[in-house]
Amino acid sequence: MKALLALGIVAAVLFVAVGSYVSTYNLGNEMEKQIKYQWEQNKNVLAKHEKRVMEAAQVPEMYRDDYAKVIREAMQGRYGENGSKAVFQWIKEHDIRFDSKLYLRLQDLIEAGRNEFANEQQKLLDLKRSYETQLGYLWTGLWLRIAGYPKINLAEYKIVTSERTEKVFEGGKEEPLKLRK
């Protein structure tokens, strides 16, 4: 009877230990997969943002060229092949204005893209912090190390920043942004 009880206790301890190991191994695997996924997602969001801005930035130039063509054709239609020396009079008569909505749209795209990218970077930081916290826990960290975690180099999964930001953090001083030189 005592041997059966001792065997039961050993089996229970072994069951808890194996269960704890398997659970922690799965946690390490899941966290590393999430970090890798989020890294790729950050690339995806940044690439999408860059493409949207680059494409949208072409629109004002296209608008300008098309607008100039319309004016040129209207002037030639009204004043003949050589146009008129009264171009400014014609422009004043027709109250021609360049539409600034295109630039406002571009600003909105930039801001929205930056905000989306910052949110994705925050997710990566949260994942890394959570994983590093798990690695630092006594029990979970022990099992993770026994299981060979971390298997990825967490230092490789950096957030994307700018030279200016890096210099500010290196020097410890921030200057106001200069919007015009």
Predicted model pTM: 0.74
Residues 27-59 pLDDT 10s = 999 999 999 999 999 999 999 988 988 888 787
**Mean pLDDT, residues 63-70:** 73
Q: How far apart are CA 19 and CA 181, in angstroms?
A: 63
Task: Give the model's pLDDT for residue 86.
Answer: 58
Bond before 60 cis per omega within 30 degrees: no
> Could you tell me which of 121, 113, 123, 108 has the C-alpha nearest to residue 48?
113
> Could you tell me which of 94, 97, 113, 95 has the C-alpha nearest to residue 105?
113
Tokens of 128: 């890394």
